[in-house]
């Protein structure tokens, strides 16, 4: 099936051709005609499915059909995203697909100066892509008017709720035209009860579009679990990267502190690595991501929230250095690989403490993930499970935090007495990195 049959205008089809896309993805096939029809949409689609173009293309078309008023343009489409990275990425898509249309767009998020954003808004824009916190800063400074929004998109709505944005979302909703007077599109990778409630409140008789089975992982991702002792994970990771000659690996840790420490340790192991998390400045996050995309940084170590919205083409390897506390995060994490039809590999290094987390993930996926024990890295059966430390302030999951602050703080992998290293693994790792394995 080609894009030509979806009812998109010549300008958009040209932009799609220039992007090199031949066929619409399932979410695009399903969502584009419905959105063009002016209907509300509740879409279950995870990152990597092509969902951004799925809402951006018809949104651009609808806006371009009714010309903007002369003079200062009101914001006519608002896209809310949970993270800065995702906002930037959606903003890029709007630019790319809308390059042959006379529409103006802007991206606003926190962590950068507000004045250039105010300036852009003052000149008038049609499409605003924003994170909720900074959007409300603009609202309180009266630098943005949302009363004429025709199309509202909530992208990765589950993540927005997870990050504690529900109050901000409510505040924004109060500033928009009523749900009967606007078109609303809600995208979410997972459907919790909270998401269903939010959908009931915001959407007007939506069409339900689901492309992958609910809470399942993309088909083309090969998943594997490697059981290993906690204190030997770093060594095993270095060994895998070296011996398998992985050139671009995204590694997940549970905490910011853990991400920093692992990236420093990998550097010491001779691998170029960078950490990306909410405590880093926007500049540092952007630089780390750019270095990773260009291939200058081989390993990008990220926390869940910081990794949201990262779009890296054909990312071949994702490693769960630590399993996430929330099983849905596993789905989000591994959605970073195998994007848009490419094959991907998602590996989890699982220690005895994490067996319960693994069970929860497998329950969510409704299948077992294949396990493989690597010679020299077999877990020591005498090591007993210990509770997982998620933060400096205690155990378990802390309160959701706002953007820029990752959910859990502190030291996830405190050294456990009695879990010793084994020589064989060390030398294996060294050999692998020096290219001898
Ligand atoms: P998304 O799920 O929106 O984050 O998109 C994932 C990736 O798929 C992005 O890198 C897009 O550029 C790419 N993509 C989107 N639509 C298509 C398509 N029809 N064919 C090939 N790649 C696509």
Residue of 141, 140, 160 lying closest to 152 (CA atoms): 160
Per-residue pLDDT of the chain (437 residues; tens, 9 = 90+): 799 999 999 999 999 999 999 899 989 999 999 999 999 999 988 777 889 999 999 999 999 998 766 667 899 999 999 988 899 999 999 999 999 999 999 999 998 999 999 999 999 999 999 999 999 999 999 999 999 999 999 999 998 998 889 999 999 999 999 999 999 999 998 888 889 899 999 999 999 998 754 344 555 678 999 999 999 999 999 999 999 989 899 999 999 999 999 999 999 999 999 998 877 787 888 888 889 888 899 999 998 877 766 666 567 889 999 999 988 888 888 877 765 556 688 999 999 999 999 999 999 888 899 999 999 999 999 999 998 876 544 334 433 434 443 333 333 333 333 333 343 444 444 444 433 33
Q: Which atom of ligand 1 is nearest to the CA of 3?
A: 19
Tell me the CA distances in angstroms from 193 to 82, 161, 204, one per residue in order.
19, 11, 18
> How close is the Cα of 242 to the center of ligand 1, in Å?
30
- Strands annotated E in 47-182: 77-80, 105-108, 127-130, 151-154
User: 262 and 351 in one domain?
Assistant: yes
User: 62 and 145 in one domain?
Assistant: yes
The protein residue with its alpha carbon nearest to ligand 1, atom 10, reads 313
Distance of CA 380 to the CA centre of its chain: 35
CATH code of the domain covering residue 135 = 3.40.50.300
Distance of CA 294 to the CA centre of its chain: 19
> How close is the Cα of 416 to the center of ligand 1, in Å?
43
Q: Point out the domain boundary residue: 350, 365, 380.
A: 365
Q: Which atom of ligand 1 is nearest to the CA of 313?
A: 10
> How close is the Cα of 48 to the center of ligand 1, in Å?
6
Residue with the two structure tokens 């009266």: 142
Q: Which pLDDT score is estimated for 193?
A: 84
Q: Which pLDDT score is estimated for 11?
A: 97
Q: Kindly report the backbone phi and psi dihedral angles of residue 392, in degrees, each rounded to the nearest multiple of 5, phi listed first.
A: -65, -25
Would you say residue 118 lies in a domain?
yes
Q: Which pLDDT score is estimated for 342?
A: 60
Using only C-alpha atoms, the chain has a radius of gyration, in whole angstroms, of 22
User: 244 and 183 in one domain?
Assistant: no
The protein residue with its alpha carbon nearest to ligand 1, atom 12, reads 50
Tell me the CA distances in angstroms from 146 to 72, 112, 138, 193, 199, one per residue in order.
13, 22, 11, 28, 20
Q: Which pLDDT score is estimated for 423?
A: 39
User: 28 and 84 in one domain?
Assistant: yes
Beta-strand pair 299-302/344-350? unpaired
Residues lining ligand 1, Cβ inside 6 A: 21, 23-25, 28, 47-53, 311, 313, 339-340
User: 129 and 104 in one domain?
Assistant: yes
Distance CA 16, CA 339 (A): 18
Q: Point out the domain boundary residue: 210, 236, 266.
A: 210
> How close is the Cα of 97 to the center of ligand 1, in Å?
12
User: 148 and 239 in one domain?
Assistant: no
Would you say residue 387 lies in a domain?
no
Would you say residue 317 lies in a domain?
yes
The protein residue with its alpha carbon nearest to ligand 1, atom 5, reads 50
Would you say residue 140 lies in a domain?
yes
User: 272 and 160 in one domain?
Assistant: no
User: 39 and 132 in one domain?
Assistant: yes
Long-range contacts of 377-380 (CB under 8 A, 24+ apart): 377/226, 377/228, 377/229, 377/232, 377/235, 377/236, 377/239, 377/425, 378/227, 379/227, 379/228, 379/229, 379/351, 379/352, 380/229, 380/419
Q: For the whole prediction, is pTM greater than 0.75?
A: no
User: 157 and 273 in one domain?
Assistant: no
Would you say residue 372 lies in a domain?
no
Residue of 371, 355, 361 lying closest to 334 (CA atoms): 361
Distance CA 199, CA 351 (A): 38
Neighbours of 161 (CB within 10 A): 20
Would you say residue 173 lies in a domain?
yes
Angle, helices 26-36/51-65, rounded to nearest 10 degrees = 20
> How close is the Cα of 253 to the center of ligand 1, in Å?
26
Q: Which atom of ligand 1 is nearest to the CA of 23?
A: 19
Task: Check: CB of residue 407 under 8 Å from CB of residue 400.
Answer: yes
Q: Point out the domain boundary residue: 175, 210, 245.
A: 210
Half-sphere exposure at residue 380, Cβ-oriented, CA atoms within 13 angstroms? 14
Q: Which pLDDT score is estimated for 341?
A: 54
Secondary element (H or E) of residue 208: strand 207-210
> How close is the Cα of 122 to the center of ligand 1, in Å?
32
Would you say residue 303 lies in a domain?
yes
317 token code pair: 């390897």
End-to-end CA distance of the chain: 46
Distance CA 228, CA 347 (A): 12
User: 98 and 227 in one domain?
Assistant: no
| Pocket perturbation via mutation, ligand 1, pick of 53, 81, 96, 212 by most ligand atoms within 8 A of CB | 53
Task: Check: CB of residue 190 under 8 Å from CB of residue 158.
Answer: yes
User: 160 and 22 in one domain?
Assistant: yes
Distance CA 49, CA 110 (A): 27
Q: Which atom of ligand 1 is nearest to the CA of 46?
A: 2
Would you say residue 81 lies in a domain?
yes
Three-class DSSP category at 126: coil
Distance CA 262, CA 59 (A): 42
Tell me the CA distances in angstroms from 37 to 61, 62, 184, 186, 312, one per residue in order.
11, 9, 12, 16, 32
348 token code pair: 């989890």
Secondary element (H or E) of residue 183: strand 183-188
User: 320 and 263 in one domain?
Assistant: yes
Instruction: Name the domain count of the chain.
Output: 2
Distance CA 406, CA 305 (A): 6
Find the domain containing 157 and state its range: 3-210
């Amino acid at each position: 099936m080609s894009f030509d049959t979806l009812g998109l205008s010549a300008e958009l089809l040209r932009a799609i051709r220039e992007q090199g896309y031949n066929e619409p993805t399932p979410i695009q096939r399903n969502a584009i005609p419905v959105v063009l029809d002016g209907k509300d949409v509740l879409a279950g689609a995870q990152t990597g499915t092509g969902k951004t173009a799925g809402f951006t293309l018809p949104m651009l078309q609808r806006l371009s059909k009714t010309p903007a008023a002369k003079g200062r343009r009101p914001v006519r489409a608002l896209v809310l995203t949970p993270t800065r990275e995702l906002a930037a990425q959606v903003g890029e898509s709007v630019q790319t697909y809308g390059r042959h249309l006379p529409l103006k767009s802007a991206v606003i998020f926190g962590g950068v100066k507000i004045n250039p954003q105010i300036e852009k808004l003052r000149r008038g824009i049609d499409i605003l892509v924003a994170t909720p916190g900074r959007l409300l800063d603009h609202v309180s400074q009266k630098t943005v008017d949302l009363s004429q929004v025709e199309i509202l998109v909530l992208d990765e709505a589950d993540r927005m709720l997870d990050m504690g944005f529900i109050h901000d979302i409510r505040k924004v909703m109060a500033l928009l035209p009523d749900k009967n007077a606007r078109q609303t599109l809600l995208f979410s990778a997972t459907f919790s009860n909270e998401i269903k409630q939010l959908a009931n409140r915001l959407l007007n008789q939506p069409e339900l579009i689901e492309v992958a089975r609910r809470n399942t992982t993309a088909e083309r991702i090969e998943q594997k679990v490697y059981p290993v002792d906690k204190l030997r994970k770093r060594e095993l990771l270095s060994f895998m990267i070296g011996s398998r000659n992985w050139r671009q690996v995204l590694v997940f840790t549970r905490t910011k502190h853990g991400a920093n420490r692992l990236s420093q340790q990998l550097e010491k192991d001779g691998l170029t690595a960078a950490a990306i998390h909410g405590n880093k400045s926007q500049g540092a996050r952007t630089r780390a991501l750019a270095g990773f995309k260009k291939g200058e940084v081989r390993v990008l170590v990220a926390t869940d929230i910081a990794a949201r919205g990262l779009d890296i083409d054909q990312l071949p390897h994702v490693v769960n250095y630590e399993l996430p506390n929330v099983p849905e995060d596993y789905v989000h994490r591994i959605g970073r690989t195998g994007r848009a039809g490419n094959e991907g590999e998602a590996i989890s290094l699982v220690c005895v403490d994490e067996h319960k987390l693994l069970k929860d993930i497998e329950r969510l996926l409704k299948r077992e993930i294949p396990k493989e024990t690597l010679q020299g890295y077999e877990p020591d059966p005498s090591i007993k499970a210990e509770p997982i430390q998620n933060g400096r302030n205690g155990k378990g999951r802390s309160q959701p935090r706002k953007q820029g602050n990752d959910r859990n703080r502190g030291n996830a992998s405190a050294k456990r007495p009695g879990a010793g290293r084994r020589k064989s693994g060390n030398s294996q790792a060294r050999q692998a990195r020096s290219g001898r394995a």
